A and B are shown apart, each in its own frame.
Chain A
Amino acid sequence: MARRSLAPYVQRPRGLVQKELSVNGSALAIRWTAEDPVFFRISVNAFLDQLSLVMRNIRGFGSPPMRSLGRGKRTDT
C-alpha cells in the first residue's frame, strides 16, 4: 500500500536523482541513483518525510471504521 501511495511521487523525473520502489514481502525497498551527494541527501530527506506521513496515515486510519458522534448524524439506537 505504501508503495502504491508513493509510486507516483517517485516516478516523477527529478533530474540527477532516480528512485525505484519495490516490495519484498512486508519490506518496502527504495533504490536511489544519484551523481550529486547534495541532491541525494535532499531526495532522501524528502522521501522519508512522505514515507513517515504514509505510515502515520496507515496506522491512524487503517483500523475498521467506528461510528462517531458529530453534528451531521446521530447514532442508530
Chain B
Amino acid sequence: MQGFLPGDTARHHRAVILDLLQEALTEAGLTSQEIDCIAYTKGPGMGAPLVSVAVVARTVAQLWNKPLLGVNHCIGHIEMGRLITGATSPTVLYVSGGNTQVIAYSERRYRIFGETIDIAVGNCLDRFARVLKISNDPSPGYNIEQMAKRGKKLVELPYTVKGMDVSFSGILSFIEDAAQRMLATGECTPEDLCFSLQETVFAMLVEITERAMAHCGSQEALIVGGVGCNLRLQEMMETMCQERGARLFATDERFCIDNGAMIAQAGWEMFRAGHRTPLSDSGITQRYRTDEVEVTWRD
C-alpha cells in the first residue's frame, strides 16, 4: 500500500488527457472557437503530473489562440467552495492530503493565518491507515471515517497546536510506535484508534479555525479539500460555528476532492479580472503559496 507516485501519476495523465479533453468538448457541445481561455494548475503539487498537464495547456492555447491562465490549486478549492456554497467572505479551512491551511481573504490576498508545520492532515490520516493496514479502497480517509464510527474508547494522542499552527508528525510517530503494542494487548481496537485520531486531529483544526475567525471577526467558515468530505469534521466545525453564532459551509465529495472544475472556476475569475499567464511564465511550481497570488477579482 502506498500513496500516489509522481511517475505513475504523470504517466496516467499523459495517457488520458487528450481523450479527456476531447470528451469534455464533445459532452459540452463546444468547439475550440467557443472556449474563452485555458486554465491549468500551475502548482503546488507533484512536479511530473503538473508538467504533463501544463504542456497540453500551452499547446492548445497556441493551437486555438486562447489566453493561458496558471491557477493556484489551493485557490481553485477556495473559489469552487465559494461558488458552490454561496459563502461570501469565509474563514477557510483547507484540508487535504497535501495541504492544511486556515485562510482568510484580506487586501487582495488569501492570507494564511495558520497551517501545518510538518505534514498535512490528510497525509497523517493516510499514513495512519498504512500502519493499521487499512484498505486504500475507496480511500484511506474514508475507511478511517467508517471505522471511527464504531470506535468506543478515546485513546489519548498527542495534541499539538502551536499558536495558529498545527503539527501532525507527533501523532503519526506515536501511532507508528504504539499502535501494534496497544492492539496486541487488547488495550484498544483499530476502530478505537481511528476514532481517537479523528477526534484529536479534527479538534486541533477546529481550534485554529476558531482562533482565525475570532481574529478576523468572521461569521462564516468554509471547509475545502479532500479531508473536508469527512462528516465528523463537518460536525465538529458546525458545533464550533453554532457556539459562535457563525455559519458553516461545506461541500460533498464532488467538490471537496481535487477536480478540474475548480481550476476552471478560479481560472474564470482570474480571466474576468484581466489575468493572463504569458507562455514564458507558464512553468509549473511544486511550491506555490496560497498568498502568492494577487486576488484582483474580489473587492
Write the residues of chain A forming the contact surface with B, with a CB cutoff of 8 angstroms: 1-2, 4-9, 11-12, 46, 49-50, 52-54, 56-58, 60-62, 65-74
Query: What is the CB-to-nearest-CB distance from B57 to chain A, in angstroms, rounded to a whole number?
Result: 9
Do residues B29 and A65 form an inter-chain contact, with CB atoms below 8 A?
Answer: no
- Chain B 47-74 interface 0/1 with A at a Cβ cutoff of 8 Å (1 = within): 0100110111011101110000000000
What chain A residues lie within 8 Å of B17 (beta carbons)? Answer: 53
Tally of contact residues, B, Cβ under 8 A: 34
What chain B residues lie within 8 Å of A50 (beta carbons)? Answer: 14, 51-52, 55
The majority secondary structure among interface residues of chain A is helix
Do residues B280 and A53 form an inter-chain contact, with CB atoms below 8 A?
Answer: no
- Chain B 257-273 interface 0/1 with A at a Cβ cutoff of 8 Å (1 = within): 00000000000000000
Please name 16 further chain A to chain B contacts, defined as beta carbons within 8 Å, in addition to the given A60-B22, A68-B25, sorted by A numbering.
A1-B59, A1-B62, A1-B63, A2-B59, A9-B54, A11-B283, A53-B56, A57-B63, A60-B18, A61-B18, A67-B31, A68-B31, A69-B26, A69-B29, A70-B25, A72-B27
Chain B residue at minimum C-beta to C-beta distance from A74: B29
> Does residue B183 face the partner (Cβ distance < 8 Å to A)?
no
> Does residue B196 face the partner (Cβ distance < 8 Å to A)?
no
What chain A residues lie within 8 Å of B281 (beta carbons)? Answer: 8
> Does residue B279 face the partner (Cβ distance < 8 Å to A)?
yes
Chain B residue at minimum C-beta to C-beta distance from A53: B14
Give complex CA distance A50, B17 in Å. Answer: 12
What chain A residues lie within 8 Å of B52 (beta carbons)? Answer: 49-50, 53
Residues A5 and B29 in contact in the complex (CB < 8 Å), given A53-B14, A57-B18: no
Do residues A70 and B26 form an inter-chain contact, with CB atoms below 8 A?
Answer: yes
What chain B residues lie within 8 Å of A4 (beta carbons)? Answer: 58, 62, 279
Residues A8 and B63 in contact in the complex (CB < 8 Å), given A65-B32, A74-B29: no
What chain B residues lie within 8 Å of A57 (beta carbons)? Answer: 18, 55-56, 59-60, 63
What chain A residues lie within 8 Å of B60 (beta carbons)? Answer: 57, 61
What chain A residues lie within 8 Å of B48 (beta carbons)? Answer: 46
Residues A8 and B27 in contact in the complex (CB < 8 Å), given A53-B14, A57-B60: no
Most chain A CB atoms below 10 A, which of B52, B58, B280: B58
